[in-house]
A = this chain, B = another copy of it.
Amino acid sequence: MPEFVDITYGGGGAKTREIIENLIAKKAKKLNFWNGIGLESMDDGSAVPVNDGYLVFTSDSYTIKPIFFPGGDIGKLAISGTINDLAVMGAKPLAVMDNIIVEEGFSLKDLEKILDSIETLANENDVALIGGDFKVVERNGVDKIIIGMMGIGFAEKIVLDSGLSPGDKIIVSGPIGTHEIALLAYREGFSTENAIESDAKPLWNMISKALKVGGITAMKDPTRGGIAGALNEMAKKSRVNVVIYEEKLPFLDEVKGLAELLGIDLLEAANEGIVVMGVKEEKAYEVLEVLRRTSEGKSAEIIGEVVEGTGMVILETTIGGKRIVEEPIGSPTPRVC
């Protein structure tokens, strides 16, 4: 490892995992408790068996730039990200705690807007705000505001990243890359007729309906590292290959155009309002229909399938070629989520 941290280590890809495995989890003797699921599984959350099910825990920090953007703000991002990390473990979100750090001189009106985003979505999703903390640092101690949020949910059955089997279909619930491109376009000052809005939103409502159908074998929230990162993790942990079809990938046309302009691979771009899942073949079309009947999942598509293999993701291109979709090493664009 090098002497200093560079920006790619925070990208959520291979280099972030390198830091977590080689440094953060290196000396810890226990990675779970009560025979639950912990850091060893490197999933979206952790869990312990309780009351004929599992309490699921997740925690993350949000340091986005800018803090207000088309389609949302850092508060909406934090509560959506927390709810979605729980939801993709199969857990109904129950409660969150938020730790807020602001820079001296931060506008109380802005703080109120951000908190309003958090509380409105918490209320809509029947999520309790059970604790929190507030700190102020001197100017330049943080860039405006950082939100740390932990979430607690309850799952009757846990959905892991590692459950894919050959034959499963891969479903994505909406257009890919929207959040990252919306944010970068706004940052760079690209103007389109209508600004592209981030897809940030909580997905428990949609996911809970899909879970009721059954057959979901693995699920992931493709934030940093995007679909490429999520599918690589699922394929590697499940010891299978995933084949995806370029022509099936849903995206917004203006997002595709801007991604090309910005040189961003949409497969690696961060999402905040879609889920990628493996579903048993016999349930896949029913799950797809249920997803499409929700407002969050109306653009859902079956984008690929699981085959035997050793953990690779293969893209079949529109023109009939094949290429390996590598796990992103580290994103060069920090602070998108």
Among A127-135, A196-204, A210-218, A266-274, the one that faces the other chain is A127-135
Docked CA distance A206–B6 (Å): 41
> Contacts A130-B39, A135-B10; is A63 near B104 (CB within 8 Å)?
no
Q: Are B98 and A129 in contact (CB under 8 A)?
A: no
Docked CA distance A112–B27 (Å): 10
Q: Which of A6, A61, A136 has the most CB of B within 10 A?
A: A136
- Report B-chain residues with C-beta under 8 Å of the C-beta of A116: 27
User: How distant is A289 from chain B, measured CB to nearest CB, in Å?
Assistant: 32
Q: Are B34 and A137 in contact (CB under 8 A)?
A: no
B39, B60, B111: the one contacting A5 at CB < 8 Å is B111
B30, B50, B112: the one contacting A50 at CB < 8 Å is B50
Q: Are B97 and A131 in contact (CB under 8 A)?
A: no
B99, B100, B101, B128: the one contacting A31 at CB < 8 Å is B128
Q: Are A58 and B131 in contact (CB under 8 A)?
A: yes
A115 within 8 A of B: yes
B28, B65, B101, B134: the one contacting A24 at CB < 8 Å is B134
Among A15-23, A166-174, A291-299, A320-328, the one that faces the other chain is A15-23
- Report B-chain residues with C-beta under 8 Å of the C-beta of A146: 61, 101, 142, 146
- Report B-chain residues with C-beta under 8 Å of the C-beta of A6: 104-105, 136
Q: Which residue of B lies closest to A151 (CB)?
A: B150
Docked CA distance A65–B30 (Å): 30
Q: Are B59 and A131 in contact (CB under 8 A)?
A: yes
Docked CA distance A102–B6 (Å): 10
Say how many copies of this protein the assembly contains. 2
A141 within 8 A of B: yes
Q: Which 8 A-B pairs have the closest CB atoms?
A: A10-B136, A148-B148, A30-B128, A38-B130, A28-B129, A46-B130, A27-B119, A61-B99
- Report B-chain residues with C-beta under 8 Å of the C-beta of A94: 33-34
A246 within 8 A of B: no
> What per-residue 1/0 map shows which CB atoms of A204-243 lie under 8 Å from chain B?
0000000000000000000000000000000000000000
- Report B-chain residues with C-beta under 8 Å of the C-beta of A141: 63, 65, 142-143, 334-335
> What per-residue 1/0 map shows which CB atoms of A91-113 lie under 8 Å from chain B?
00011011111101111110110
B59, B108, B119, B123: the one contacting A59 at CB < 8 Å is B59
- Report B-chain residues with C-beta under 8 Å of the C-beta of A30: 95, 122-123, 126-129
B7, B29, B32, B55: the one contacting A123 at CB < 8 Å is B29
